[in-house]
Amino acid sequence: MTRPKVHIVVLGGTITMAPQKAGGIAPSISGGDLVAAVPALSDVADITVATPFLVPGASLSFAQMRQVDALIDEALAGAAHGVVIVQGTDTIDETAFLLDLTHRHAGPLVITGAMRGASAAGADGAANLLAAVTVAASPAARDLGALVVLNDEIHAARFVAKLHKALPSAFGSPDFGPLGHVIEGRVRIALRIARFDAGLAAPMPDAASVALVSTGLGGDDRMISAVPDLGYKGLVIEAMGAGHLPGNLVAAGEQVAKMMPVILASRVPGGPIFASTYGFPGSEIDLLGRGLLSAGFLSAHKARLLLALSLGAGHSLAEITEAFAAFQ
Ligand code: ASP
């Protein structure tokens, strides 16, 4: 039997962080050193590793993610059975979804990181890397799109969220739970999800600039109204509950929706945006009737990425509406 080949691409994050003279931890451990610190990886697969950059998750850019997308494509079109991306957990929910949008290979694409720095007691980096490589090498993980593996759980990119700032169990999929686990070195997938088609093909297009505006008790409409003049090409509104805005924000939302796509998302993690329940000013029925598009079960951050790539690819409003329909 041929041994699986897994290509690891290390981008930084806490998993690569070590104490600095000036204080605090910062990215400093290369992919080669990270892999060398986990000898058990070679029991699972033949490993190759690249470190295109070492940055905190929050500083990853669209340009860098396009570069990563090309590296994944090159590896999976070549000899690799699977690819593991190692990065900061602050943006894993976003990068996994972004990469999933254009990922068309059957070979597993797994994103991982760590909640504790490399030299912390109980550092979770080695265990997460080993589990991620185990999934990337597994035929059971083929055809599932981008997966996020931390804490021995396997999550679908479209559902996963970072739900805690500190715990190794920080990642969850609030809507449907994890797809499976890695236990005793074996990949156990309990749920298989269908691939989705958001109308985006590799290579990853340039991202258009899309504003994300959140809402809170007693808020006003100034941020929403300012969006067109700031040069944004689209807007995501992180509304309340099942897709509700304070009544005094409705006119601004409708006005902007006449000028660019406006996506209605929610600050509540679980469940979809409603479509047909509430009838008050600022309700989902009211807002969708005024031209806002539903994010469905996508978080505001994931909705922003889908809109940014769709606009970057030059898609029409009808095509964007269809892309979001895949997530209702
Ligand atoms: N601040 C870190 C980062 O995203 C957090 C982590 O990796 O867990 O780079």
Pocket of ligand 1 (CB under 6 A): 13-14, 56-58, 88-90, 113, 115
Residue 2 has a pLDDT of 83
- Report the pLDDT averaged over residues 167-196: 96
Domains of the chain, earliest start first:
5-189 (3.40.50.1170), 210-325 (3.40.50.40)
Cα-Cα-Cα-Cα torsion 153, 156, 158, 161, nearest 10 degrees, comes to 0
Given a contact cutoff of 8 angstroms between Cβ atoms, the answer to whether 224 and 235 are in contact is yes
Q: Which atom of ligand 1 is found nearest the CA of 15?
A: 7
What are 154's strand-pairing partners? 149, 180
For the segment 230-249, the average pLDDT, to the nearest whole number, is 98
Query: φ and ψ at 55, to 5 degrees?
Result: -135, 160
Question: What's the chain's average pLDDT?
Answer: 97
Cβ(83)–Cβ(41) below 8 Å: no
Q: Would you say residue 201 has pLDDT above 90? A: no
- Take residue 123 and report the two structure tokens written for it: 């550092």
Span from the CA of 240 to the centroid of ligand 1 (angstroms): 27
The alpha carbon of residue 72 and the mean position of all alpha carbons in its chain are separated, in whole angstroms, by 16
- Distance from residue 228's CA to the centre of ligand 1 (Å): 32
The CB density around residue 272, as the number of other CB atoms within 10 Å, is 16
Quote the pLDDT of residue 196.
87
Name which of 129, 123, 163 is nearest 35 in CA terms.
129
For ligand 1, what atom is nearest to the CA of residue 90? 4
As a dihedral over the C-alpha atoms of residue 260, residue 266, residue 87, residue 136, rounded to 10 degrees, the angle is -100
Which of 17, 34, 124, 167, when mutated, tests ligand 1's pocket best, judged by the most ligand atoms within 8 Å of its CB? 17
Q: Which of 14, 51, 95, 215 is catalytic?
A: 14
Q: How confident is the model at residue 322 (pLDDT cuts 50, 70, 90)?
A: very high
**Any catalytic annotation for residue 215?**
no
Q: Over the stretch 267-314, which tens digit does the pLDDT of each residue have?
A: 999 999 999 999 999 999 999 999 999 999 999 999 999 999 999 999
Which tens digits make up the pLDDT trace of 34-76? 999 999 999 999 999 999 999 999 999 999 999 999 999 999 9
Q: What is the pLDDT of residue 202?
A: 85
- Token reading at 86: 């190692």
47, 50, 92, 237, 311 from 321: Cα distances, Å: 41, 38, 25, 16, 12
Q: Which atom of ligand 1 is nearest to the CA of 55?
A: 9
Nearest-angstrom CA–CA distance, 301 and 296:
13
Q: Give the pLDDT confidence score for residue 128 in this predicted structure.
A: 98
pLDDT of residue 1: 66
- Are the C-beta atoms of residues 307 and 320 closer than 8 Å to each other? yes
Ligand 1 midpoint to CA 302 (Å):
18
pLDDT in tens, 116-137: 999 999 999 999 999 999 999 9
Q: How far apart are CA 314 and CA 266, in angstroms?
A: 26
Residue 228: which pLDDT band, with cuts at 50, 70 and 90?
very high
The encoded tokens of residue 241 equal 């509950």
Alpha-carbon gap, residue 250 to 62, rounded angstroms: 31
CB atoms within 10 A of CB 230: 9
